[in-house]
Amino acid sequence: MSHANAALTPRARLRLARLVVESNWTYAAAAKMFM
């Protein structure tokens, strides 16, 4: 089981995908949010 705030949880992946798809962020810019 991963930590609840881990960057690769399903919730975090969904948030990353929404930034890219819905908000037109570049993948690199969105990924910086999770570093």
What are the residue boundaries of the structural domains of the chain, listed by start?
A: 7-35
C-alpha span between 20 and 4 (Å, rounded): 22
- What is the pTM (predicted TM-score) of this model? 0.70
Q: What stretches in the chain show pLDDT beneath 70?
A: 1-5
Q: How far is CA 1 from the centre of its chain?
A: 19
C-alpha span between 16 and 12 (Å, rounded): 6
C-alpha dihedral, 26 to 16 to 32 to 3, nearest 10°: -170
C-alpha span between 10 and 31 (Å, rounded): 15
Q: What pLDDT was estimated at residue 2?
A: 62
Q: What pLDDT was estimated at residue 5?
A: 67
